[in-house]
Amino acid sequence: MDYRRAAFWQLLILTILLNIVSQAIHEAGHWAVYETLGLGPIWGFTGLVQIWGDPPLHPDEWIETISPDGERGWLRLTSAPSKTEDIIGLAAGPLASLLGVVFGLSLMRWNRNPVTKQIGLVLALIGSIIMSQYYLRGFSRLGGDEYFLAAHLGIPKYTIDIPFGLAFSVSLIAGLWALGDWRAILKWLSAILLRSVPAGLFLMKANDLVQSQINQGNPLFQPFLGFSFPVIVVNVIVLLLLWVWWKRASKMSYNSLKTAS
């Protein structure tokens, strides 16, 4: 079985699931640092739970902060990070995303199971597509990890955007190159782009819901291991679905090879 010959509908399903995994990898990078430092973070689907503009309903449960452009905000932490701690925490997300892409490419390159290869390549393409375009439009984008990181370090934001953008762009080229011909490239890109947009919108809307419910003190949205409980539930369900997919598809691949031989 050639992993590159995945059916279009298979790629659509994998893209939905792996978009959530890709985002979780990025956020897990941030979370691991703040959690290890004992800062008591509460993480949502797309970032640390935070409020900008209007103060939260219970300000004593939040840490007040000021953005580089003077905007007032509140972070859901038990204590404020030092400058060095914040630099490490901010950098951990993009680095985790890059490691996730490299991991996906490694699965595609060295794993012998064609289903695992498919999952690895879809994960790598999703991460590299999302992050490369994110950094390519960095000159017109305010906010984000790099915005605060550059302010802490006292350097222009493009000195962070350019190296990361190049790394993700090279990874994207490597992933597309592995597909071989233009028909396979077009099919894979079409499936990933068609499902990445709605998956991204879902994550943003879900994150807004998590932040508003935590602000209101909804007990169903309180943290478990540093993540808001619905975030844990969704990611566990996604991983279970991926495992079921892998088991079923691997069995079908084995049966087809057995029949052919």
Q: What is the mean pLDDT of the chain?
A: 91
In tens, the pLDDT along 73-115 reads 999 999 999 999 999 999 999 999 999 999 999 999 999 999 9
Q: Taking 80 as the threshold, does the pLDDT of residue 254 lie above it?
A: no
In tens, the pLDDT along 36-49 reads 999 989 999 999 99
Taking alpha carbons only, the member of 24, 40, 35 closest to residue 207 is: 24
Mean pLDDT of 123-145: 87
Length of the chain: 261
* 256: confidence class by pLDDT, cuts 50, 70, 90: low
What residues contact residue 227 under an 8 Å CB cut-off, 6+ apart? 31, 42, 43, 235
Question: What pTM does this model have?
Answer: 0.92
Q: What is the pLDDT at residue 174?
A: 96
Q: Which two tokens stand for residue 142?
A: 């305010």
More confident residue, 196 or 141: 196
The dihedral through the CA atoms of 56, 68, 204, 219 has a sign that is negative
% of residues, the chain, pLDDT over 90: 73
| Inter-residue contact 119 to 242 (CB < 8 Å) | yes
Lowest mean pLDDT, pick from 47-61, 138-152, 190-204? 138-152
Mean pLDDT of 50-66: 90
Mean pLDDT of 185-198: 92
Q: Regarding beta strands 72-75 and 223-224, do their DSSP bridges make them parallel or antiparallel, or are they unpaired?
A: unpaired
Q: Which two tokens stand for residue 243?
A: 């495992």
Backbone angles phi, psi at 66, to 5 degrees: -125, 130
Q: Taking 90 as the threshold, does the pLDDT of residue 178 lie above it?
A: yes
* 11: confidence class by pLDDT, cuts 50, 70, 90: very high
* 240: confidence class by pLDDT, cuts 50, 70, 90: very high
Cα–Cα distance, 161 to 30 (Å, whole number) = 18
Q: Which two tokens stand for residue 184?
A: 């396979």
Q: Taking 60 as the threshold, does the pLDDT of residue 137 lie above it?
A: yes
* 139: confidence class by pLDDT, cuts 50, 70, 90: confident
Q: What is the pLDDT at residue 222?
A: 86
